[in-house]
């Protein structure tokens, strides 16, 4: 099954509107030829509009880093899926490990956000991954199996056609410690098998699974060459146009 490579940059809490616009303006010519990949940037909420405007007419798509599950109402500080769509946003990261670690995100809240995102027509990037203690305790598959079962509960195979899973081992995020291609592939294969058991073989075979965790230009080629790795969710290396573009070029095997 041919799956289109998808590379998303998670800017986290970096780049105001001016810096975001500047990064996208620099990125546009560098990635214009990468029509065989989906290229996504995910700035902070307050930078989204500037980046949507800067990316207009290019092959760069825009994503948010979180979404609330309600359509509107008394949820101070939150942003709804409809608000994102009306701002020109197409993708949204859900359940990033930093949100699970610092902001009380659970598989149940991931599931609520995911359903709201799909209902509004967003393309969700759902993050799963184990901590170092869980990996060392041989609990990786148990943890990821639970995150998938509970996080994706109630979805249909049709919903899953719009979902991307990002496998991000927590111990590899922002640490410079990348999972080896073999270790990453083993877990990606497990994710695909689990999604197959939940939604059927056709859904599993079409599912795009990104790797995330210290992916950079130097290791992107070998990671994305693995059978079940279909792209990357990138933190640090997405903050500069040249490294992000180089990483995409490596991931595409150029
Ligand atoms: C991330 O936060 O999604 C991430 C993968 O970060 P980094 O690439 O910096 O490890």
pLDDT tens, residue by residue, 171-181:
999 888 888 99
pLDDT at 176 (0 to 100): 87
Q: 82 CA distance to ligand 1 centroid (A)?
A: 27
Please tell me if the CB atom of residue 63 comes closer than 6 angstroms to any atom of ligand 1. no
Range of the domain at 179: 5-251
Ligand 1 pocket test target in 9, 93, 100, 234 with most atoms within 8 Å of CB: 234
Percent of the chain surpassing pLDDT 70:
100
Q: Tokens standing for 148?
A: 């998938």
Backbone angles phi, psi at 231, to 5 degrees: 150, -160
The CB-based long-range contact list for 14-18 (8 Å cut-off, 24+ gap) reads: 14/44, 14/239, 15/43, 15/44, 15/47, 15/239, 16/46, 16/47, 17/46, 17/47, 17/49, 17/50, 17/51, 18/50
CA distances, 226 to each of 5, 53, 57, 134, 190 (Å)? 12, 35, 32, 24, 13
Percent of the chain surpassing pLDDT 90:
96
Q: What is the mean pLDDT of residues 78-93?
A: 98
Instruction: Identify the DSSP state of 80.
Output: B
Q: Tokens standing for 201?
A: 């073989």
User: Could you give the CA distance from residue 42 to residue 186 in angstroms, rounded to a whole number?
Assistant: 27
Residue with tokens 């909420």: 45
Q: 201 CA distance to ligand 1 centroid (A)?
A: 29
> Could you tell me which residues come within 8 angstroms of residue 101 by beta carbon, excluding any fewer than 6 positions away?
170
Q: Tokens standing for 196?
A: 């197959």
CATH number at residue 224: 3.20.20.70
Residue with tokens 């927590």: 170
pLDDT tens, residue by residue, 43-64:
999 999 999 999 999 999 999 9
pLDDT band at residue 167 under the 50/70/90 scheme: very high
> Is 188 among the residues known to form the active site?
no
Residue 173 CA: nearest ligand 1 atom is 10
pLDDT band at residue 77 under the 50/70/90 scheme: very high
User: Could you give the CA distance from residue 24 to residue 137 in angstroms, rounded to a whole number?
Assistant: 42
Tell whether the model's pLDDT for residue 1 goes beyond 90: no
pLDDT at 208 (0 to 100): 98
pLDDT at 102 (0 to 100): 97
pLDDT at 180 (0 to 100): 95
**Atom 6 (ligand 1): residue with closest C-alpha?**
235
Q: Count up the domains in the chain and report the number.
A: 1
Tell whether the model's pLDDT for residue 166 goes beyond 80: yes
pLDDT tens, residue by residue, 185-200:
999 999 999 999 999 9
Please tell me if the CB atom of residue 213 comes closer than 6 angstroms to any atom of ligand 1. yes
Please tell me if the CB atom of residue 215 comes closer than 6 angstroms to any atom of ligand 1. yes
**CA Rg value for the chain:** 17
pLDDT at 178 (0 to 100): 87
pLDDT at 224 (0 to 100): 98
Q: What is the mean pLDDT of residues 137-145?
A: 97
Q: How many CB atoms lie within 10 A of CB 52?
A: 19
pLDDT at 177 (0 to 100): 86
pLDDT at 205 (0 to 100): 98
Q: 170 CA distance to ligand 1 centroid (A)?
A: 9
More confident residue, 178 or 221: 221
Please tell me if the CB atom of residue 128 comes closer than 6 angstroms to any atom of ligand 1. no
Check 168, 185, 188, 250 and give the catalytic one: 168
**Atom 8 (ligand 1): residue with closest C-alpha?**
235
> Is 186 among the residues known to form the active site?
no
Q: Tokens standing for 87?
A: 């701002």
Please tell me if the CB atom of residue 163 comes closer than 6 angstroms to any atom of ligand 1. no
pTM tops 0.95, yes or no:
yes
pLDDT at 174 (0 to 100): 87
User: Could you give the CA distance from residue 198 to residue 103 in angstroms, rounded to a whole number?
Assistant: 28
User: Could you give the CA distance from residue 220 to residue 234 in angstroms, rounded to a whole number?
Assistant: 10
- Per the CB < 8 A criterion, the answer to whether 93 and 64 are in contact is yes
Total length of the chain:
254
């Amino acid at each position: 099954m041919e799956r289109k490579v998808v590379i998303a940059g998670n800017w986290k809490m970096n780049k105001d509107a001016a810096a975001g616009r500047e990064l996208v303006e620099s990125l546009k010519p560098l990635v214009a030829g990468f029509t065989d990949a989906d290229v996504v940037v995910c700035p902070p909420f307050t930078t989204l509009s500037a980046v949507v405007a800067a990316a207009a007419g290019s092959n760069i798509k825009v994503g948010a880093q979180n979404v609330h599950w309600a359509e509107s109402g008394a949820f101070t500080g939150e942003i709804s899926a409809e608000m994102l769509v009306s701002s020109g946003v197409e993708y949204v990261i859900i359940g990033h490990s930093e949100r699970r670690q610092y902001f009380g995100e659970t598989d149940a809240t991931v599931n609520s956000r995911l359903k709201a995102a799909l209902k509004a027509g967003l393309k969700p990037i759902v993050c799963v991954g184990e901590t170092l203690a869980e990996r060392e305790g041989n609990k990786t598959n148990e943890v990821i199996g639970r995150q998938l079962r509970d996080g994706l509960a109630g979805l249909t195979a049709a919903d899953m056609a719009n979902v991307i899973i990002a496998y991000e081992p927590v111990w590899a995020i922002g640490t410079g410690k990348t999972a080896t291609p073999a270790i990453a592939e083993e877990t990606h294969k497990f994710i695909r098998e689990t999604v197959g058991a939940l939604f059927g073989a056709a859904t599993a075979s079409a599912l795009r699974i990104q790797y995330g965790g210290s992916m950079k230009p130097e290791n992107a080629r070998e990671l994305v060459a693995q059978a079940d790795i279909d792209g990357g969710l990138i933190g640090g290396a997405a903050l500069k146009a040249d490294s992000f573009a180089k990483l995409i070029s490596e991931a595409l095997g150029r």
